[in-house]
A and B are shown apart, each in its own frame.
Chain A
Amino acid sequence: MVFKRSERPRADKPVPIPVKIVVAGGYAVGKTTFVGSISEIEPLTTEAALTSHSDGVDIAGEAAKSSTTVAMDFGRITLGDDLILYLFGTPGQDRFHFMWDDLIRGAIGAVVLVDTSRLEDCFPAVDYFESAGIPFVVAVNAFFGKMHHSLEDIREALAVPESTPMVVTDARDRDATKGTLLELVQHALALVNAG
């Protein structure tokens, strides 16, 4: 049975407002680690079916053949009785852009995670958020505290304007993750206030 009698709510209770932030970047850059460092639940995974979009989206043959779903993981942070923040970690390959359209709709913005030894892995994500006009921050995940390039060099390589925040983070560290999320929310707020 679903409910015990004692658990029956008397009246319909209010439902919290959901907000979300997308965490993007190349394979093994630390997306799941980043989400897990601050989430109140163990990150969960769901499968988005490639075939669930019948609106003429071109699904890369390779992906369609090898599997029909894309895994996407997410975590949750309760910010009050009436407000819950979801973090979505999503693969950054070009062929998954159709999924991002759905994911990014209504989002606060995105954190693009970068591994400085494989800088080019984040290009598709930067391209996407820039062209979609989504607020984003670039967060360099400094594996073992090592950065192969300076932030200025990375900014130049990514060709993102000064107005796009860039931070160094540590995906394993809750405070560093929190700081990165705050950076994004402040950036999104500044854009809303300016616009």
Chain B
Amino acid sequence: MNEISGTDRLRIRPYALTGGRVRSTTELALETIVRVTGRCIIHAHELSSERREIAGLCDQPVSIVEISARLSLPLGVARVLVGDMVSEGHLNTHQATETEITPDGRPDQRLLERVLNGLQAL
């Protein structure tokens, strides 16, 4: 379950990590991609172990669902922790612009065309 080898560290009950919250204030989509910030790297030693594990995965762009799966954290917990780390400036996320997303929150024409071209090129 946990990648940390050589230790018999007990895992904390996941919801205790979020103070029982299952909803993040920012309510990020589960596919939201995050990446560590320079600020996170400087302050990594101050982070709780769960947050440090998240930061360790986010050296490369990864999504909240990937974090949840790779760290065996329930999706709701990963969402809250990542949301907090974004608010704190430890993780960066892409801010969708009006040229990407329609008013109902779905990919717009230009973004769909990029997906189409990307898939065709596979």
Mark each residue of chain B from 74 to 117: 1 if its CB lies under 8 Å from any CB of chain A, else 0. Answer: 11100000000000000011101000111001111101111110
| B28 CB, min distance to chain A CBs, angstroms | 10
Chain B residues with Cβ below 8 Å from A106 are 29, 31, 101, 105-107
Q: How many residues of A contact B (CB 8 A)?
A: 54
Judge whether B6 is part of the interface by a CB distance below 8 angstroms. no
Chain B residues with Cβ below 8 Å from A17 are 33, 94, 96, 100, 111
CB within 8 A of A105: which of B52, B68, B105, B113?
B105
| CA A46 to CA B71, docked complex, whole Å | 10
Chain B residues with Cβ below 8 Å from A51 are 22
CB within 8 A of A46: which of B33, B75, B93, B101?
B75
Interface centre among A14, A17, A52, A80 (most CB of B within 10 A): A17
| CA A189 to CA B102, docked complex, whole Å | 12
Q: How many residues of B contact A (CB 8 A)?
A: 51
| CA A1 to CA B53, docked complex, whole Å | 10
Chain A at the B interface: SS class: mixed
| B17 CB, min distance to chain A CBs, angstroms | 14
| A80 CB, min distance to chain B CBs, angstroms | 6
Chain B at the A interface: SS class: mixed
Is the CB–CB distance between B75 and A49 below 8 Å? yes
Chain A residues with Cβ below 8 Å from B109 are 189, 192-193
Is the CB–CB distance between B92 and A108 below 8 Å? no
CB within 8 A of A19: which of B22, B38, B75, B115?
B115
Supposing A9-B38, A83-B114, A102-B30 touch, asked if A76 and B69 sit within 8 A by C-beta, the answer is no
Chain A residues with Cβ below 8 Å from B112 are 108, 185, 188-189, 192
* Chain A to chain B contacts (Cβ below 8 Å), 14 pairs: A1-B44, A9-B41, A17-B94, A17-B100, A44-B65, A44-B66, A44-B70, A45-B69, A77-B119, A102-B30, A108-B112, A188-B107, A188-B112, A189-B113
Task: Name the 9 nearest CB pairs between A and B, nearest first.
Answer: A79-B118, A44-B69, A52-B76, A18-B31, A15-B94, A46-B69, A46-B68, A2-B56, A189-B112
With A16-B61, A86-B65 given, name 13 new contacts (CB 8 A): A2-B55, A3-B59, A15-B35, A15-B61, A17-B94, A20-B31, A38-B122, A46-B68, A52-B74, A77-B118, A108-B112, A178-B122, A188-B106
